[in-house]
Amino acid sequence: MIFTISNIINSIAGQLATLYPNVSVYDSPSYNTEYPCFYVFVTTPSIADEIDGIEMRDIGFDIVYVQERNSVAQNAELIEIMETLDEGFDVLTYDDGTLTAPLHTHDRSASIEDQELHYKFSIRQRVSREKEHIYMAEMEEQNVEVEE
């Protein structure tokens, strides 16, 4: 399985499309935006090295729901969407195009700012890198010595 931020964004967009099939999802603001819509932003990616070529990736996301300004029952709609997102994003179905896997979300929170809903969470995933060959260590393991 290939773990990338692009695949996570596409997986989030797919999950949003399942929850809200009539609402567009964007990864950046555009002049041709149709409201209401969702934006998916990466907020705080970090990588921490662990033992034996393993990395812990902690990637923050902000799903922003934008609707027409000053619409009727706007706050009630935002609260309903907040609850749906909270239920729908407990686990993200990650899809890399070949395999799918459940990823648990962490640090979920929501806020309403300037008539927009911000639903934030992070994904923490351990990934492995290809090991670099350390030829000297291989030689020592095989009891190989250099002739003088």
Strands 91-95 vs 116-128: parallel, antiparallel or unpaired: unpaired
Helices 74-88 & 5-19, crossing angle to 10 degrees? 120
Sequence length of the chain is 148
Alpha-carbon distances of 87 from 17, 41, 109, 137, rounded to whole Å: 15, 20, 12, 50
pLDDT at res. 146: 60
> Are residues 129 and 53 in contact, defined by beta-carbon separation less than 8 angstroms?
yes
- Taking residues 124-140, report their average pLDDT: 68
Mean pLDDT over each residue of the chain, to the nearest integer? 88
The rounded distance, in Å, linking the Cα atoms of 115 and 36 is 12
Cα 42 to the center of its chain, rounded Å: 7
- Taking residues 101-115, report their average pLDDT: 95
Query: Taking the model in full, what pTM does it have?
Result: 0.82
- pLDDT at residue 23 above 90? yes
- pLDDT at residue 39 above 90? yes
> Are residues 124 and 106 in contact, defined by beta-carbon separation less than 8 angstroms?
yes
Quick: pLDDT tens for 55-70.
999 999 999 999 987 7
Q: What is the dihedral of CA 35, 119, 39, 99, to 10 degrees?
A: -130
pLDDT at res. 128: 82
Share of the chain above pLDDT 90, in %: 59
Share of the chain above pLDDT 70, in %: 86
pLDDT at res. 135: 57
